[in-house]
């Protein structure tokens, strides 16, 4: 037998000499040392882009920019309804503000890290390095621009946070703008006109953003800023670069916009192609000639999204495709699918918005004037579910039907045998946005004409309510809280399943269409404050008519639209009836609405122009006259998130809240 004492001796020696290393060796973790070389710096810039997804494409982006404006109000499934009504819940504790504030400041810190650390990076070619710095400045400018528009005075830092920073203070609005303009001018000087990677900032992107920034700054100071300058401004008057004034800002905005218009971008032939990804048709004007059209000639810069695993954080895809959709999946012949989307029913157009586009309101014309309505809203649903309902059942139990088709109702579909279940692909629902049969001949729900027409076409016809506010929005017409024009710009059928919210659609932040309107508005508002545009009407018009002419394009898109019809349409949309002789800022804001409905800018358009009266005038849920709580004195800014105040050393004393909150 082995001698136990040797076993013991061995154990003792092993034990006493055993030693462990207490220094940590990093295996799966990366530290900021990585930023010291070129690959790391490149990764930081890519991270900087990725952080834009913290706002654009998430819930906070549409909630803060679209809901509760003159154009958009609540659907039946909105959970944060105070954004539509401006009720007490629109307060510092609402998470949407924190979810906006935090990502932008995280991105700013990343930009700062890139800009601060780049000089020490030696293994990168100088041109690439300069471009990356310029990209970081572009992003930092965008971040600060969004922050200052939503929140007013805000912390300003151009250096990376090293260690725990526990203090913060609100820098004046004008000093934020000075930094934004400076960053953009720096970026414009360096950025190339095109980049090898789609989605990287280009010179045009920086110019388009600068145009918008200057246009916005030109309106400053607002009366509320002038009234308490010490809170908002660095000095008693709004501070700009030496020699700059409100007028030069307007002129600068126009100059930058003109430069972009002259640049490598061009308007697409059809408005709808901007929002076209490979997907099924959704009604007149939806047919997509340009598959996979996210990166097109009109696009200047977008926040990139992807449906490819590993290119997005699970749970944080672009979720906004679901928000503005109307209820369809309970209709006969329909079930929820990817193509038609997961209808969250959170945002619906106001009556004002529905009437914004100039269209025929009766059946005597083949197409509508402004195709941007059909480029924005879906009008046809094709049956996607067998055995879920019989045709001819719209509007309740049918007792008979006529075979006479009305020429103005689309004649798609029709494999369904009368009274039997829909056949897949049949037209199941038609929601044209106007009263079928014409206002004159239609006496409302149950009226003889309308009922006959509906019966004739096998599918359900959903017609608009003609008035609002109303006791129940459903009383007239068939629109209500859950059935309304369904906003299809962000529809996304590339998701793995219909309930998945990790959308892969890019968020176009800047496109050429905007730049025309920026130019028009800058020309118009050159002397801000007058009712009508002060710029020469003749110099404003070309920007507007260019967009409107494009909006009248219908060739091969709408039934019956020939080249001749299109030409007539283009003339008509700009004639004296449809385009007023005197362009006003109000008209330009309408045009913004027609062009950019749902594109995450509307609240900022109102804030910029100060035309806040449009909210209570046009959005009855927000209007105090109808139980809403909108107050311009308070709601021209968003509240500072409570966590920023709570976590700042000194609390509310060191970091004051915006007035009224």
Partner 1 sequence: MKHWILVLAALSVGANARAQNTGRLTGTVTAAEDGRALNGAVVSIVGTNRTAFTNASGVYLVEQVPAGARLVRVRFLGYAPLQQTVTVGADRTDTLNFQMVSAPVQLEGIVATAYGEQERREVTGAITSLNLGELRDVPLPNPAQLIQARVAGVDVVSTGYRPGAPMNVMIRGVRSITAGNQPLYVVDGVPLVGGGIEDFNPAQIASIEVLKDASATAPYGARGANGVILITTNRGAAGASGGTSSFTYDYQYGAQSALHFVDLMNGPELAQERIDAYRLAGRTVSYASIFNPPELNQAYCALNVKTNPTTGLYDTTAAGTSTWQAVHPGCQTGTDWQRSIYRIGSQQQHRVSYNSIAGNARLSLSGTYFNQSGITVGQGFKQYSGTISFENTYGRLRIGATATGSRSVADIGGDSQLWGEATANSSLGLPYDSAGTPYATLCSVCTLKINPSGDALRTNPLREEQGFIHQQISDRLFGSLFAEVTLPFGFAYRANLGPDLQNVSDGMFQGANVVLGSTPIGNSQAGLATREAFRYTLDNMLTWSYTTGEHKVDATGLYTITQTRFQDDSASSKTLPYDYQLWYNLGTGSAPQPPISQYNQTATRSFMGRVNYTYKNRYSLTVTGREDGASVLAAGHKFAFFPSAGLSWQIGDEQFMKQFTFLSGLKLRASLGTTGNSSINPYQTEGSLNQTFYNFGSSTANGYVPGQIPNPTLVWEKTAQLDLGADFGLLRNRISGTVDIYREKTSDLLLTRALPPSSGFASTLQNIGKTGNAGWEFSLTTVNLTGAGGGPRWTTDFSFTHNQNYIISLAGTTGDDLGDRWFIGQPVNIGLSGQSGYDPLHQVFYDYKFIGIWQLADSALARQYGEKPGDPRVADLNGDGKIDGFDREIVGNSYPRLIASIYNRVTWGAFDLSFLLQGRIGYTFIDGFRENTDLFDRYNNLNVQYWTPERCDGGPDPTKYDPPPGETAAQQAAIPGCNVWWAPSAGRQNPPYDDLPSNSLGSASPAYRVGTHWRVRNITLGWTLPQKFVNRVRGVHSARVYVEAQDPWVFTSYYGYDPENGGSSGPPSYRTVLVGMTLGF
Nearest in space to 489 (alpha carbons), one of 335, 334, 349: 349
Smallest separation (angstroms) from partner 1 to the CB of 458: 20
Count CB-CB contacts under 10 A for residue 390.
17
Minimum separation from the CB atom of position 275 to partner 1 (A): 18
User: Judged by CB under 8 A, which stretch of 232-240, 283-291, 484-492, 645-653 contacts partner 1?
Assistant: 645-653
Shortest distance, CB of residue 32 to partner 1, whole angstroms?
Answer: 6
Residues from 395 through 434 that contact partner 1 (CB under 8 A): 397
Smallest gap from residue 315 Cβ to partner 1 (A): 8
Residues 6+ apart with CB under 8 A from 396: none
Cα separation of 345 and 499, whole Å? 14
Interface stretch with partner 1, choices 263-271, 299-307, 415-423, 436-444 (CB under 8 A): 299-307
Which residue's CB is nearer to partner 1, number 52 or number 574? 52
Closer residue to partner 1 in complex, CB, 384/570: 384
CA triplet 156, 158, 160: central angle to 5 degrees? 110
Q: CA–CA distance from 176 to each of 171, 183, 217, 267, 297 (Å)?
A: 7, 11, 11, 33, 32
- The CB-of-641 to partner 1 minimum distance in angstroms stands at 7
| Three-state DSSP class for residue 528 | coil
* Subset of residues 56 to 75 that bind partner 1, contact rule: CB under 8 A: 74
Work out which of 158, 175, 248, 306 binds partner 1, going by CB under 8 A.
306
Task: Determine the 3-state secondary structure of 532 from DSSP.
Answer: strand
Complex with partner 1: residue 43 or 226, whichever CB lies closer: 43
Q: How far is the CB of 617 from partner 1 (least distance, A)?
A: 15
> By the 8 A CB rule, do 139 and 158 touch?
no
Q: Which stretch binds partner 1 (CB under 8 A): 103-111, 238-246, 272-280, 520-528?
A: 103-111
Range in contact with partner 1 (rule: CB under 8 A) among 191-199, 346-354, 407-415, 583-591 = 191-199
Residues 161-190 that bind partner 1 (CB under 8 A): 161, 163-168
Among 69, 112, 246, 320, binds partner 1 (CB under 8 A): 112
**Under 8 Å between Cβ of 310 and 332:** no
Which of these ranges, 359-367, 373-381, 537-545, 652-660, lies near partner 1 under the rule CB under 8 A?
A: 652-660
Contact window for partner 1 (CB under 8 A) among 101-109, 362-370, 377-385, 557-565? 101-109
Binding of partner 1 at residue 7 (CB under 8 A)?
Answer: yes
DSSP β-bridge partners for residue 154: 171
d(CA 297, CA 276): 13
Strand partners, 511: 299
How many other CB atoms are there within 10 angstroms of residue 354's CB atom?
Answer: 22
Residue 651 φ/ψ region, left for φ over 0, alpha for ψ in the -120 to 50 degree band, beta for the rest: left
- 326 forms part of the interface with partner 1 (CB under 8 A): no
Three-state SS annotation for 77-114 = CCCCCHHHHCCCCCCCCCHHHHHHHHHHHHHHHHHHHH
- Report, in Å, the least distance between residue 572 CB and partner 1: 36
Residues in 451-470 that interact with partner 1 by CB under 8 A: 469-470
Distance (Å, rounded) from C-alpha 212 to C-alpha 519? 9
CA-to-CA separations, 650 to 21, 106, 318, 549, 646, in angstroms, rounded? 43, 22, 37, 57, 8
Angle (deg, nearest 10), helices 602-609 and 203-218? 40
β 377-378/380-382 pair status: unpaired
Q: Which of 186, 255, 185, 253 is nearest to 217 (CA)?
A: 253
Q: How many positions of this chain bind partner 1 (CB under 8 A)?
A: 131
Is 387 near partner 1 (CB under 8 A)? no
Using CB under 8 A, which of the segments 7-15, 58-66, 528-536, 547-555 binds partner 1?
7-15
Q: Whose Cβ is closer to partner 1: residue 42's or residue 617's?
A: 42
Q: Which region, judged by CB under 8 A, interacts with partner 1, from 151-159, 210-218, 427-435, 449-457? A: 151-159
Site for partner 1 in 192-231 (CB under 8 A): 197-200
Binders of partner 1 in range 468-497 (CB under 8 A): 469-475, 480-481, 496-497
Q: What track of x and - describes contact with partner 1 for positions 329 through 368 (by CB under 8 A)?
A: xx-----x-----x--------------------------
Closest approach of partner 1 to the CB of residue 325, in Å: 12
Q: Calculate ∠ Cα 537-66-177, nearest 5°.
A: 65
Q: What is the DSSP string of 364-421?
A: SSSS-S-THHHHHEE-EEE---TTS-BTT-TTS----------TTS------SPTTSB
| 299: phi then psi, degrees, rounded to nearest 5 | -75, 130
**Candidates 42-50, 181-189, 233-241, 607-615 — which segment interacts with partner 1 by CB under 8 A?**
42-50
Determine which residue in the list 313, 407, 417, 420 makes contact with partner 1, applying CB under 8 A: 313
The window from 45-53, 427-435, 445-453, 568-576 that contacts partner 1 (CB under 8 A) reads 45-53
Identify the residue among 8, 127, 440, 571 touching partner 1 (CB under 8 A). 8
Residue 534 within binding range of partner 1, rule CB under 8 A: no
Residue 220 contacts residue 180 (beta carbons within 8 Å): no
Applying the rule CB under 8 A, the residues between 75 and 94 that interact with partner 1 are 76, 80-82, 84-94
Binding of residue 381 to partner 1 (CB under 8 A): no
Site residues for partner 1, window 263-282 (CB under 8 A)? none
Lateral strand order in the sheet of 460-461: 380-382, 427-430, 460-461
Task: Name which of residues 610 to 639 contact partner 1 (CB under 8 A).
Answer: 620-621, 626-627, 629
CB 166 within 8 A of CB 152: no
Among 36, 46, 226, 251, binds partner 1 (CB under 8 A): 46
Contact between 106 and partner 1 (CB under 8 A)?
yes
- Sign for the CA dihedral angle at 215, 221, 223, 228 comes to positive
């Amino acid at each position: 037998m082995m001698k136990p004492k040797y076993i013991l001796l061995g154990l003792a020696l092993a034990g006493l000499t055993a030693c462990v290393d207490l220094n940590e060796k990093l295996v799966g973790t990366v530290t900021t040392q990585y930023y010291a070389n070129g690959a790391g710096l490149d990764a930081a810039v890519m991270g900087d882009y990725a952080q834009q997804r913290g706002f654009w494409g998430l819930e906070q982006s549409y909630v803060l920019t679209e809901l509760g404006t003159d154009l958009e109000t609540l659907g039946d499934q909105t959970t944060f309804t105070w954004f539509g009504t401006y009720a007490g819940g629109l307060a510092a504790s609402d998470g949407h503000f924190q979810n906006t504030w935090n990502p932008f400041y995280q991105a700013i810190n990343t930009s700062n890290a890139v800009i601060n650390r780049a000089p020490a990076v030696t293994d990168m070619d100088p041109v690439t390095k300069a471009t990356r710095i310029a990209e970081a400045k572009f992003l930092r400018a965008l971040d600060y621009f969004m922050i200052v528009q939503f929140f007013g005075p805000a912390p300003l830092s151009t250096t990376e946070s090293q260690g725990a920073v526990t203090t913060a203070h609100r820098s004046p609005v004008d000093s934020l703008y000075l930094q934004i303009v400076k960053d953009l001018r720096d970026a414009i000087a360096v950025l190339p006109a095109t980049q090898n990677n789609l989605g990287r900032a280009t010179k045009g992107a920086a110019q388009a953003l600068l145009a918008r920034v200057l246009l916005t700054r030109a309106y400053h100071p607002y009366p509320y800023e002038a009234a308490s300058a010490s809170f908002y401004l660095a000095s008693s008057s709004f501070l700009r670069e030496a020699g700059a004034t409100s007028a030069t800002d307007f002129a600068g905005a126009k100059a930058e916009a003109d430069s972009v218009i002259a640049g490598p971008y061009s308007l697409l032939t059809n408005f709808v192609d901007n929002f076209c990804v490979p997907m099924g048709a959704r009604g007149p004007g939806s047919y997509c000639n340009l598959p996979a059209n996210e990166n097109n000639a009109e696009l200047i810069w977008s926040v990139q999204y992807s449906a490819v695993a590993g290119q997005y954080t699970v749970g944080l895809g672009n979720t906004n495709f679901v928000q503005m959709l109307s209820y369809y999946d309970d209709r006969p012949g329909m079930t929820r699918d990817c193509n038609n989307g997961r209808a969250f029913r959170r945002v619906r157009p106001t009556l004002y918005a529905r009437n914004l586009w100039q269209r025929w309101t009766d059946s005597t014309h083949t197409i509508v004037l402004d195709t941007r309505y059909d480029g924005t809203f879906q009008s046809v649903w094709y049956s996607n579910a067998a055995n879920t309902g019989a045709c001819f059942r719209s509007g309740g139990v049918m007792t008979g039907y006529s075979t006479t088709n009305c020429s103005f109702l689309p004649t798609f579909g029709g494999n369904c045998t009368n009274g039997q279940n829909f056949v897949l692909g049949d037209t199941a629902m038609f929601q044209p946005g106007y009263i079928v049969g014409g206002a004159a001949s239609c006496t409302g729900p149950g009226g003889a004409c309308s009922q006959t027409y509906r019966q004739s076409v096998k599918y359900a016809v959903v017609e608009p309510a003609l008035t609002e506010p109303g006791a129940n929005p459903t009383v007239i017409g068939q629109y209500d809280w859950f059935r309304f024009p369904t906003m299809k710009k962000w529809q996304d059928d590339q998701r793995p399943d219909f309930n998945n919210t990790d959308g892969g659609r890019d968020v176009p932040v800047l496109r050429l269409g905007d730049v025309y309107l920026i130019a028009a508005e800058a020309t118009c508002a050159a002397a801000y404050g007058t009712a009508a545009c002060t710029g020469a009407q003749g110099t404003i018009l070309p920007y507007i008519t260019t967009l409107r002419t494009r909006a009248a394009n219908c060739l091969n898109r709408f039934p019956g639209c020939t080249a001749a019809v299109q030409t007539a349409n283009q003339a008509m949309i700009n004639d004296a009836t449809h385009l007023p002789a005197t362009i006003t800022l109000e008209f330009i804001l309408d045009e913004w609405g027609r062009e950019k409905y749902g594109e995450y800018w509307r609240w900022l358009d109102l804030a910029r122009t100060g035309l806040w009266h449009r909210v209570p005038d046009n959005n009855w849920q927000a209007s105090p006259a109808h139980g809403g709580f909108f107050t311009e004195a308070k709601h021209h800014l968003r509240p500072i998130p409570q966590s920023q105040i709570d976590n700042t050393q000194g609390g509310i004393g060191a970091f004051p809240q915006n007035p009224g909150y």
